[in-house]
Amino acid sequence: MLILNNQDVTDHLTMGDAIDALDRAYRQLITKEAVCKPRTDVQIPTSQHGKVYQWSSVEGGSTDGYFAIRIKSDIIYEQDYNGARTQEKYCVQPGTYCGLVLLTRVETGEPLAFVNDGLMQLMRVGADGGIGVKYLARENAEVVGMLGSGGMSRSHMDAFMHVRPNLKRLQVYSPTKANRERFAAEMADRHGIEAVACDTPEQVYRGADIFAALTDSAVSVIRGDLLEKGTHIVAPGTGDGIRDPKIIEKIDVYLRFGNATAPWGVTDVEDEYFTYAALPDVDTGFKRKTPGKRGHGAVFPPERTLTYADLMNGKTSGRSSPEQISYSERGNLQGNQFWPLAARLYEIVKARGAGREIPTEWFLQDVRN
């Protein structure tokens, strides 16, 4: 069995690998060769008001022969930062995190690898953004407008440049000047494009063919009145899922990749995630998901909604006019992301003789469970 860390992900898994792996996994959902569940959270209040323990898991697998579960153990809370409400998390102490992906073999049940989820998490969300841009951004797209300058922004730029290598300019804003300037310089050097650190968020929207909101804000930071015709929107964050009716009204084409597999006897599962909470009626000081509402994400009329299956089956080619505003999001398919990325990483690492091995026997027993 292999133990793989974030450096192994950096050394052996490219954004091209991630996009190809997810594309295949999404296609397998359409053909019913893959299966996944929505994210499930378990929340328990801590002794510190405003801080909640949260255990999260997503899982899925396919007839390709792999299954994976991604698990996280977090203390979560919200705070005000530079005038914005952000969601924060840690494990043990601020700055350290516990997230793991366990990969197993479908044919035998054998545990194959434990993988740190940090960089894989950034890659899978960035790859989603890239897939949306690939299918819905204007053919002549050249300018990216971006809110946020952290790891998620970095992985999205890698994905955007992979699917649209002719992009020429990045306009980026984040609240800390040094961070946005550092990020702009890094992207200019990494991708050979013009990269400008903007002084205000409003400047990000001007002339942007692709607009990406990649912040850790607990509330949406998107300005619908600034979105220009022809823009493609990517907004995967906690607060940035498109829910504002005024923004939804402006969007002409909405691509939701699909919905997680429904349990037998249930027709559909659209909710982004499910939360089970101890003492659910106690005020913990942490804003929980509203009962009966999607965790985040848009609800669009059917006539403006596309799915991955629609694209793959030739039902539509995506946008029908360069003037249309489009928006793409994964939906609740997180469980169908970690198995293909972990499997691709595992196969590459095994072929290269890399990674750290531990005895598989440590995870087996002779007492029936």
For the chain, the domains span: 2-120+336-363, 122-259+288-331
2-120+336-363 shares its CATH topology with 122-259+288-331: no
Task: Render pLDDT for 256-284 as a digit per residue (tens, 0 to 9).
Answer: 999 888 888 877 777 777 888 898 878 88
The gap from C-alpha 243 to its chain's centroid, in whole angstroms, comes to 17
Among 132, 215, 207, 131, residue whose Cα is nearest residue 171: 207
Task: In whole angstroms, give the CA distance from residue 233 to residue 329.
Answer: 9
pLDDT of residue 265: 80
Task: In whole angstroms, give the CA distance from residue 343 to residue 32.
Answer: 19
Mean pLDDT by 10 residues, the chain (369 residues): 97 97 96 94 94 96 98 93 78 97 98 97 96 96 96 97 98 96 98 97 97 81 92 78 80 93 79 82 73 60 92 87 94 94 98 96 95
Topology of domain 122-259+288-331 in CATH is Rossmann fold (3.40.50)
pLDDT of residue 268: 73
Q: Are 146 and 204 in contact (CB under 8 A)?
A: yes
Which residue, chain included where needed, has tokens 């977090």? 74
Task: In whole angstroms, give the CA distance from residue 258 to residue 311.
Answer: 11
Is the C-alpha dihedral spanning 250, 255, 261, 267 positive or negative? positive
Give the DSSP H or E segment for 263. Answer: none
Among 70, 106, 71, 72, residue whose Cα is nearest residue 89: 72
Question: DSSP secondary-structure letter at 277?
Answer: E
Provide the angle, in degrees to the nearest 10, between the axes of the packed helices 151-163 and 118-136: 40
Topology of domain 2-120+336-363 in CATH is ornithine cyclodeaminase, domain 1 (3.30.1780)
pLDDT of residue 237: 66
In the sheet where 305-306 sits, what is the strand order? 194-197, 169-173, 143-147, 210-213, 232-234, 326-331, 253-258, 305-306
Task: In whole angstroms, give the CA distance from residue 323 to residue 26.
Answer: 28
Greatest CA separation for the chain: 64
For the chain, the C-alpha Rg in angstroms (whole number) is 20
